[in-house]
Amino acid sequence: MEKERKNHVAHCLILPYPAQGHMNPMIQFSKRLIEKGVKVTLITVYSYWKTIKNKNLSSNIEVESISDGYDDGGYESAKSFDVYIQTFWRVGSQTLCELLHKLSSSKTPPNCVIFDAFMPWALDVAKNFGLLGVPFFTQSCSVNSIYFHTHQKLIELPISQSEYLLPGLPKLAQGDLPSFLYKYGSYPIIFDVVVNQFSNIGKADWILANTFYELEPEVVDWLSKIWPLKTIGPSVPSSHLDKRIKDDKEYGVSVSDPNTESSIKWLNEKPKRSVVYVSFGSNARLSEEQIEELALGLNDSEKYFLWVVRESEQVKLPKGFEETSKNGLIVTWCPQLEVLTHEAVACFVTHCGWNSTLEALSIGVPLIAMPLWTDQATNAKFIADVWKMGVRAVADEKEIVRSETIKNCIKEIIETEKGNEIKKNALKWKNLAKSSVDEGGRSDKNIEEFVAALTQY
């Protein structure tokens, strides 16, 4: 029996929520597991997997699929997002059971399911099959702690306090909380998803978080007292950090075709640290008024800018803006990591989704935070006031960031002494991120300990 244990190959099933920002961190973590000898099978959702245009997976990652109940059209074919989630949770659970029945008779049956924490039903399925169940959190530990306190009803809703002081976190104003709290009732189904991540967390064998200890030490220490928590991030391609995983240069999947050649060619023609890179991710929708203010602010800054505006959003641009703007290039998409590492880029204007934040941290690029919703306001608070690697572009009473504010933020980072301090801090976090995932770093040790425990199961 002991000999069988030593020869056993751990086999992890990786189940992300079907969205690019959730899939890619888990795919990157999968590469770390493979590097340490673990067999990995990625479980995708039929409907979403069909929409992926670039599937840059490691050849060692096998792929299986389950259903969300909408194989032909995904969530867009559902009557509402509420209906989609209800159907997905039910059908996903059923089809995951069917897949586990199939895989249980394979040569290397799985012994662990690592699932996106958005889908706690996967933990119940794993336990029913006698497998280890491990939630993977794709947002920061600070945000997860806020949601956990909400789940435990330790934050009264609707919120009424002007400030909140939670264990391991800085003092937070109402507007620093995730939008589902300070705009309670705005997206009830998504609120339920983020809060219900903790509905059965007491059953989890481990909890993995896409962050690194040095970034959030106080809240990680507090959460580690109540959960079997391991920080394993930042989950970005190895070539931008420790360079230990061969040919790991880009994320695994993309729903868009990047304008690589035109973007990089344009950047190559610009001086070092002279370009403002602007991107709000694959899902964000800015109002026409906000896009107009952003366009004016970029023009008024008199700096070069590379602005990602999805094709569906380009109708919101001011009429004739592309023709009259001499300093800018507008593209429908581009390879974000490749752009951020380019020596011409001076700063990154973004909504501060957690993946974009970690990318900037890992590469050492200063941020201009323009949060829109969900966890982004909390991330922006940390960027500006805790990590001090960026500035927050503050919106007015109409929730619009005006052109003057945008212009001033750009100039502050590129032209002022405070901007120089921000750049130094950005490089500090870059070095800490690299050290954490490098051999012997805290995230690397946590992954080693996790794999060692897996092989004993």
Question: Residue 187 gets which letter from DSSP?
Answer: S
Q: Spell out the domains of the chain, with CATH numbers in brackets.
A: 2-252+439-455 (3.40.50.2000), 259-334+344-433 (3.40.50.2000)
- pLDDT per residue over 270-324, tens digit each? 999 999 999 998 777 899 999 999 999 999 999 999 999 988 899 999 998 977 7
User: Of the residues 22, 149, 240, 351, which is catalytic?
Assistant: 22
CB 241: neighbour CB atoms within 10 A?
24
Tens digits of per-residue pLDDT, 176-210?
Answer: 999 999 999 999 999 999 999 999 999 999 999 99
pLDDT tens for each residue of 227-253: 999 999 999 999 999 999 988 888 877
pLDDT of residue 8: 47
Q: Which of the residues 11, 71, 82, 116 is marked catalytic?
A: 116
Tens-place pLDDT, residues 338-351? 999 999 999 999 99
User: What are the tokens at 405?
Assistant: 């504010």
Distance CA 94, CA 328 (A): 50
pTM above 0.85, yes or no: yes
Count the neighbouring beta carbons within 10 Å of the beta carbon of residue 129: 17
In the chain (457 residues long), the average pLDDT of successive 10-residue segments reads: 48 96 95 95 95 79 96 87 96 98 94 98 98 98 98 96 97 97 95 98 98 98 98 96 90 73 93 97 88 96 95 92 86 90 97 96 97 97 98 97 98 98 98 97 98 90
Identify whether 444 is a catalytic site residue: no
Q: How many residues does the chain have?
A: 457
Q: DSSP secondary structure string, 58-112?
A: -TTEEEEEE--S-TTTGGGGSS-HHHHHHHHHHHHHHHHHHHHHHHTTSSS---E
Q: Which amino acid is at 15?
A: L
Distance set, CA 222 to CA 168, 213, 217, 453 (Å):
6, 12, 9, 23
C-alpha to C-alpha distance for 154 and 148, rounded to whole angstroms? 9
Establish whether 116 is a catalytic residue: yes
User: Could you tell me the sign of the dihedral formed by the alpha carbons of 377, 382, 383, 384, in that order?
Assistant: positive
